[in-house]
Chain A
Amino acid sequence: MIRSPEIFKPEERAAFALRSLYRSYGYSQFRMNKFEEYDFYVRNKSFLVSDNIITFTDTNGKLMALKPDVTLSIVRNAKDGEHGTRKVYYHENVYRPARGSRTFREIPQVGLECIGEVDDYAVAEVLSLAVQSLSEIAPRGMLNVSHLGILSELICRAGYPEETHRELFRLIGEKNLGELQQLTSGLGIAPEPAEKLFALLSGSGEVAPTLNLLGGFYSDGAWQSAVAGLRRVVTLLPAGSVRLDFSVVGDRNYYNGIVFHGYAEGIPDRVLSGGQYDKLMQKLGKTSGAIGFAVYLDQIERLTPAAGDYEVDTVVLYGADADLSAVCETVNRLVASGRRAAAVRELPKTLVWRNLIRL
């Protein structure tokens, strides 16, 4: 029995709630080794958040790494080419420098992956679980959803040279319309495609108006079908907790379709990140599709309320000649009544208490 639920830190509570949520949707827990061969990560370096990996030489002379990422390990071990989808969730620690930090940290993550025949339902379910995950973390959450296929198509149709794409995507990710305007106007290409891009990035992100805006860009079948695909999945999500924000840009070498970032009120950084990564599967020689996301539990620590006024409700101070059965009885009585009690021989200088009982 857990006497005081407040003992759970927000990240611990979230981890249990999320695992239970994913389990209830038929996802099974995936357990993995803490180590992988270093070579494996080097080959897929750009999928990782950071290039820095903790390595060590195993007793057999192999260079090993403490895993900096979970998705790669799951994908590597996933069976390929089977019918249906495999749905797994995980609760693991990864080891890498936190963003903006130069030192390694142990980062706890909970997440899920859906691998196999990823149809519209699978995409909608993963997005819906991302939205539900955010509401488990904080009263207000926001999922920013983008579609790399649509964004890339928009850029290709505009005719911007390949060598400018990296810079274009960087500026899009920053919502930096000023410099985007400078870059595109300097290319000597008609302004209409750039105007479409600016309209998309400067809009409110509300789902229905953004879909209508996208639908009006081009009338051909391929474009309309891509927009309809996006419409099919995002309109299934609860209004008010999702925005279509095309400044969400994952690595185009790995992600291909839907990509998303999640924010929870009270946490200044994103707490959730995910997307459809069929290209990563292809790079690893797999034919299946895949979509998933990770929740960064270390971020949720920020929601920890300020320390209470007291560390214990009652200090039971007993002398050298005290009757020990009376001490036990007093402490047990206090604990049974739901109070926090500490029995001590001397009053600790640093302990903050409310009541004092001398025995």
Chain B
Amino acid sequence: MKEYLNIALPKGRLGEKVYAMFEAVGFDCPSIRENNRKLIFGNEAVGVRYFWVKPSDVTIYVERGAADIGVAGKDILLEYAPDVYELLDLRTGVCRMAVAAPVGFRDDPARTLRVATKFSEIAQEYYNRQGREIDLIHLNGSIELAPILGLSDVIVDIVETGTTLRENNLEVVETIIPISARLIANKASYQFKNERIRELSEKLAGLVAKKQSEADT
């Protein structure tokens, strides 16, 4: 029997997309496609076990070794800086971390900028690099509301299509960094399940490259 490779996937649309990639390279687990409320799915024949976890928790499961590998957004990796290997950009779940403000907002560099965000570390680091003093307001959701109600001047948040921003009369002022899903590995698991993790990573890299070249042509 193969030793299980434990894989943490983010719940939701991104997780489903990513699972399809794992399946395509031979790390399939048919029970995951059953419509039920289970959180753990295993395929003994292939030696894989998948967990659905909250996207922001994937890094915790991997860093602490409950999962050997996982898939997390670059936003989560930048925000929490977990001590893991970042093996591959899966080039899916593509979006960007951006500064957004009410349409027509004019920044006054002489004033402390009030910034509302869920991503405090990323925002602080971004403005530190510019030497800009900010008043950081950490929120847990509905970030777009902050500038509308005058709680903040700008927001730092993930922008995918920009629809939510437009509907709330906000616009992107600056892109901080492009975001996509990354394959991450626990550093200790990488030692002891080295061949399987490298095999999976190489196969996924091949699949990503193939998709990329198909998209380019």
Closest-CB distance, B8 to chain A (whole angstroms): 13
A266 vs B188: C-alpha distance when bound (angstroms): 8
Which of B82-90, B100-108, B141-149, B165-173 touches A?
Answer: B82-90
A177 vs B89: C-alpha distance when bound (angstroms): 9
CB neighbours (8 Å) of B89 from chain A are 178-179
A307 vs B21: C-alpha distance when bound (angstroms): 40
Cβ A265 vs Cβ B192 within 8 A: yes
11 sampled A-B residue pairs with Cβ under 8 A: A142-B191, A179-B89, A261-B187, A264-B188, A265-B192, A267-B188, A268-B63, A268-B65, A268-B186, A268-B189, A269-B83
Closest-CB distance, A183 to chain B (whole angstroms): 13
Cβ B188 vs Cβ A269 within 8 A: yes
Out of A204, A264, A268, name the residue touching B198 (CB < 8 Å).
Answer: A204
Closest-CB distance, B204 to chain A (whole angstroms): 12
Cβ B88 vs Cβ A263 within 8 A: no
Out of B64, B86, B192, name the residue touching A140 (CB < 8 Å).
Answer: B192
Judge if A247 is at the interface, Cβ distance under 8 Å. yes
CB neighbours (8 Å) of B64 from chain A are 268-269
Judge if B128 is at the interface, Cβ distance under 8 Å. no
Closest-CB distance, B183 to chain A (whole angstroms): 10
**Closest partner residue, chain A, to B90 (CB atom):** A178
CB neighbours (8 Å) of A179 from chain B are 86, 89
Out of B65, B87, B198, name the residue touching A269 (CB < 8 Å).
Answer: B65
Known contacts being A100-B63, A204-B194, A204-B198, is A269 close to B187, with CB within 8 Å? yes
A267 vs B85: C-alpha distance when bound (angstroms): 16
Cβ B198 vs Cβ A99 within 8 A: no
Point out residues on A near B: beta carbons under 8 Å.
99-100, 140, 142, 144, 174-179, 204-205, 243, 247, 261, 263-265, 267-270
Out of B82, B86, B194, name the residue touching A176 (CB < 8 Å).
Answer: B86
CB neighbours (8 Å) of B83 from chain A are 99-100, 269
- Name the interface size band of chain B: 20 to 34
**Closest partner residue, chain B, to A182 (CB atom):** B89
Known contacts being A142-B192, A263-B191, is A175 close to B186, with CB within 8 Å? no
Known contacts being A100-B63, A268-B64, A268-B65, is A174 close to B191, with CB within 8 Å? no
A353 vs B185: C-alpha distance when bound (angstroms): 42
Known contacts being A99-B83, A269-B65, A269-B83, is A263 close to B187, with CB within 8 Å? yes
Cβ B198 vs Cβ A175 within 8 A: no
Out of B65, B82, B85, B186, name the residue touching A247 (CB < 8 Å).
Answer: B85
CB neighbours (8 Å) of A243 from chain B are 191
CB neighbours (8 Å) of A175 from chain B are 85-87
Cβ A178 vs Cβ B88 within 8 A: yes
**Closest partner residue, chain B, to A144 (CB atom):** B191
CB neighbours (8 Å) of B63 from chain A are 100, 268
CB neighbours (8 Å) of A205 from chain B are 194
Cβ A263 vs Cβ B188 within 8 A: yes
Q: Which among B66, B88, B191 has the greatest number of chain A C-beta atoms within 10 A?
A: B191
Closest-CB distance, B211 to chain A (whole angstroms): 15
> 0/1 per residue, B177-213, Cβ < 8 Å to A?
0000000001111011010001000000000000000
**Closest partner residue, chain A, to B74 (CB atom):** A179
CB neighbours (8 Å) of B88 from chain A are 178
**Closest partner residue, chain A, to B186 (CB atom):** A268
Cβ A263 vs Cβ B192 within 8 A: yes
A242 vs B89: C-alpha distance when bound (angstroms): 28
CB neighbours (8 Å) of A178 from chain B are 86, 88-89
Q: Contacts A100-B63, A100-B83, A270-B187 known; list 11 others, CB within 8 Å.
A: A144-B191, A176-B87, A178-B86, A179-B89, A204-B194, A247-B85, A263-B188, A263-B192, A269-B83, A269-B188, A270-B188
> 0/1 per residue, B108-145, Cβ < 8 Å to A?
00000000000000000000000000000000000000
CB neighbours (8 Å) of A265 from chain B are 188, 191-192
**Closest partner residue, chain A, to B180 (CB atom):** A178
A175 vs B184: C-alpha distance when bound (angstroms): 10
A99 vs B84: C-alpha distance when bound (angstroms): 13
A100 vs B191: C-alpha distance when bound (angstroms): 21
9 smallest CB-CB distances across A and B, nearest first, come from A268-B65, A142-B191, A178-B89, A176-B86, A175-B85, A263-B191, A174-B86, A263-B188, A268-B188
